[in-house]
Amino acid sequence: MLDKKAKTRIINKYKTHENDTGSSQVQIALLSEEIKELTDHLAMHKHDHSSRRGLLRKVNERRKLLKYLQKEDADGFKELVTKLKLKIGKKLVEEEEEKKRKEQEELDAIKKAAEEDEELEKQKEEVAAKKAEDNN
């Protein structure tokens, strides 16, 4: 559990405005610090299953907040991930980039198919025009 001084220090470091104590950035930073403390505790006390369960809950909560922040404020998300040096943040960024890349590839494939359809239509029109010309 974080003491009051540590919480205040983290809040002051990651706040988005003057009276900010509960923004996503602050919550994620606080959870990250608590996760670090629990990880250290579990390294020494391997059989403390209730603390392990608490750690998993905090990790899950942080993941949810990171996804929300990424959706709502991509720049703030990237800035926070780099400040906190989070691996999961990098993974979420990579997944988002992969998703965008796939969407772009699908759009490119659709455009290419449309261009090919237009080219076929032009060729059909040219063939029809030649047949009409030959018949006259």
| Contacts of residue 20, Cβ cutoff 8 Å, sequence gap at least 6 | 11, 26
Task: Give pLDDT tens digits along the chain (136 positions).
Answer: 789 999 999 999 999 888 888 899 999 999 999 999 999 999 999 999 999 999 999 999 999 999 999 899 988 988 898 899 888 777 777 888 898 999 999 999 999 999 999 999 998 888 888 888 887 6
Question: Where in the chain are the domains?
Answer: 1-85, 97-136
Q: What is the pTM (predicted TM-score) of this model?
A: 0.67
Place of tokens 């470091």: 13
Architecture (CATH level 2) of domain 1-85: Orthogonal Bundle (1.10)
Query: CA torsion 50→55→61→63, rounded to 10°?
Result: -150
